[in-house]
Structure 1
Amino acid sequence: QIAALAERAGLSLARAERTAAATVPAPAAGDSFNLTPRERDVLRLLARGWTNRQIAEELYISPKTASVHVSNILGKLAVGGRGEAAALAHRLRLFPDDLAASGH
């Protein structure tokens, strides 16, 4: 329907798509998972191998809240566990500053 409307109006969708692609920055790899800023904080610590209790202490939240965030992250990343989530974060280089600090 959109293509037909654009054609009737004499507009080129291909040109509009190229213009939009050139002006809109590509999302970072982690953004495509729709993680909230807090979930990104939790994932960063999870990727370091931290426990829920350690994450909770660092972020001033309860261990139960950390657990809920971890569960939400696992679902959004479509992985089966913490190790898989950490591996995915490392593979996608979601936290390059952490990799530089650890010498990877």
Structure 2
Amino acid sequence: AQRARLALGRAPEPSAPAPADPAEALGLTSRERDVLRLVAAGRSNRQIAEELFISPKTASVHVSNILAKLDVSGRGEAAALAHRLRLFPQEAPTARTAG
């Protein structure tokens, strides 16, 4: 919880509603959530850039910002944290055809 910057033991203040989205509690922007979703899916910076129509350098900057906000040392740790916090619904496995 500390690594994810989630407060434990204190009730939220009545005037400040708790964020419905755990990614919001981590301070991630909308674009950073998109990038983290792709990181968690195992995509490279180049693949992230292509999917989001940004440059690979911009994707790299987003990944660096995400790692800093999540206080993790690498992409694998960021992906594991995203999965543990259930930030993104698991994709349904596709049916394989016999062939």
Which residue number in structure 2 is paired with residue 87 of structure 1?
Answer: 80
5+ residue gaps, structure 1, are 1-16
Higher relative contact order (CA 8 A, sep 6+): 2
Q: How many residues align?
A: 81
Q: Give the C-alpha shift of residue 102 in structure 1.
A: 4.3
Distance 1:36 1:60 in 2: 17
TM-score by length of 2: 0.75
Distance 2:66 2:30 in 1: 11
TM-score by length of 1: 0.71
1:52-89 deviations in whole A, cap 9, x for unaligned? 00000000000000000000000000000000000000
Give 4+ residue runs of structure 1 displaced > 2 Å after superposition: 100-103
Which residue number in structure 1 is paired with residue 92 of structure 2?
Answer: 101
Distance 1:67 1:100 in 2: 24
Q: Give the C-alpha shift of residue 100 in structure 1.
A: 4.3
Distance 2:93 2:76 in 1: 18
5+ residue gaps, structure 2, are 1-12, 95-99
Percent identity, aligned pairs only, is 72
